[in-house]
Amino acid sequence: QQFRLLARGIVEWLTQGVHLGQTRNSFAVHVDDVFAPDSRWDTERNCTPGDFDCAGGEGEGTTPIRMTADDAAYAAQWQRENGFTMDMVFNAGSGEEWKTEHGGTDALTARLLADKAQYRWVNHTYTHPFLGCVQDTSTVPWSCAKNADGSTKYMSRAEIAAQIRDNHNWAVGKGLPVDRAELVTGEHSGLKTLPQQPDDNPNLAGALADTGVRWIASDNSREPEQRTVGNALTVPRHPMNVYYNVGTAAEMADEYNWVYTSRADGGSGVCEDNPTSTCLDEPLDLTTGYAEHIVPQEARTALGHVLAGDPRPHYAHQSNLAEDRLLYPVMEKVLDDYRALFADNTPLENPRHSAIGTEVQRRAAWQTALANNRVTAYRIGTTVTVTAPSGTQIPVTAPEGTKKQLALGTTAFGTPYAGARSAWTTPAPLQSALTLKLP
């Protein structure tokens, strides 16, 4: 953390404030499954009813977790007080099903729609189905069902497109500020899911094209690099270690203990079998474990992404805004710690899904241009000249007062951040190179 805090200043000092590249610290949090309920962890069976590896039926022995109208009102208030906007990743059809099953009214939906302008909204498909291969759940773990000829059976292009389109149309009908180009599929399904489904659903790319999707979320823990899916690009998201299937701090600590405790201490032993995991020295206290251990650890991880200049969004679930409202302490610590470390001229940016995808795309193109030796940059006196492949966005940081050379005259360069000015930019029209005039 100390190095990341000092790194910007080291670079600015070495370069006299003139260099390629820019860093804008950002933090975005997607809240998945909005309008839908999430299954609850069973603390006795150490599994989640409804999962394929948990005996019993969907929700047997536990009550699903779903936000209330009071939770929604609190979310809007929290955003205003903390100057931060969450991305509500929604399943309208699941909400409609809930309403039908509960007397035809839903105070949660009414409250969220009343505050719709206070959030960003991202399509999560209408009813949250698995969009990849048809799952054969007769065995644990599940496998992909097969056609008569032995080929993998997949959800069809028409079914995928209907899930995307129906959810978008519902949102438009309700006046939600939703962007057709953005999509998060349930469980990132449709994309390859190892080990069962090593390839994307071949019908996915066509369905994305049919519905105008350009930015589809992926799981950063599985696929950290952006890639193409037909005409769309993935937006890798960091999973937050605040579980989707818990509503209380005690439930969270209990499941955490199961995952991160050795068999000798009563846990699953998963932490012993996974070389990238570490077991707890002793199980967490169910009353204090979440606040004292999990919150600071998860906030430190998220803040580490922020300070590394990683634009990728984080994601949690609507269940984490319900009951004990577990997500807020993590977000508050990230925000508070960041604001304690940085001056007001280095604000924490809060971009939406498509903007993050664009940032990751630009970085990849820039790295390719550098790797292929296609970039030339030099400074003579107060003039900076940069050439790059045509159409490539060029990241530059320069002092306040820097001007961008136009065919006729100059204009102010970039926007202010951290005491300097920076931007992704290209040569001005009729110019073959980017030319900046330093103050």
What is the domain partition of the chain in residue ranges? 25-353, 373-437
d(CA 32, CA 321): 11
In the three-class reduction of DSSP (H, G, I as helix; E, B as strand; rest coil), residue 34 is classed as: strand
Tally of CB atoms within 10 A around 298 = 23
d(CA 249, CA 231): 42
127, two tokens: 């009813």
Global model pTM greater than 0.85? yes
Alpha helices for 91-156 (secondary structure H): 92-101, 107-114
- Count the residues in the chain: 439
Class of domain 25-353: alpha beta
Identify whether the C-beta of residue 341 lies closer than 8 Å to the C-beta of residue 115: no
| pLDDT tens-digit profile, the chain (439 residues) | 999 999 999 999 999 999 999 989 999 999 999 999 999 999 999 999 988 888 765 446 689 999 999 999 999 999 999 999 999 999 999 999 999 999 999 999 999 999 999 999 999 999 999 999 999 999 888 999 999 999 999 999 999 999 999 999 999 999 999 999 999 999 999 999 999 999 999 999 999 999 999 999 999 999 999 999 999 999 999 999 999 999 999 999 999 999 999 999 999 999 999 998 999 999 999 999 999 999 999 999 999 999 999 999 999 999 999 999 999 999 999 999 999 999 999 999 999 999 999 999 999 999 999 999 999 999 999 999 999 999 999 999 999 999 999 999 999 999 999 999 999 999 999 999 999 999 9
Identify whether the C-beta of residue 120 lies closer than 8 Å to the C-beta of residue 86: yes
pLDDT digits 0-9 by tens, 139-184: 888 999 999 999 999 999 999 999 999 999 999 999 999 999 999 9
Q: What is the residue type of 209?
A: A
Identify whether the C-beta of residue 155 lies closer than 8 Å to the C-beta of residue 161: no
142, two tokens: 């599940």
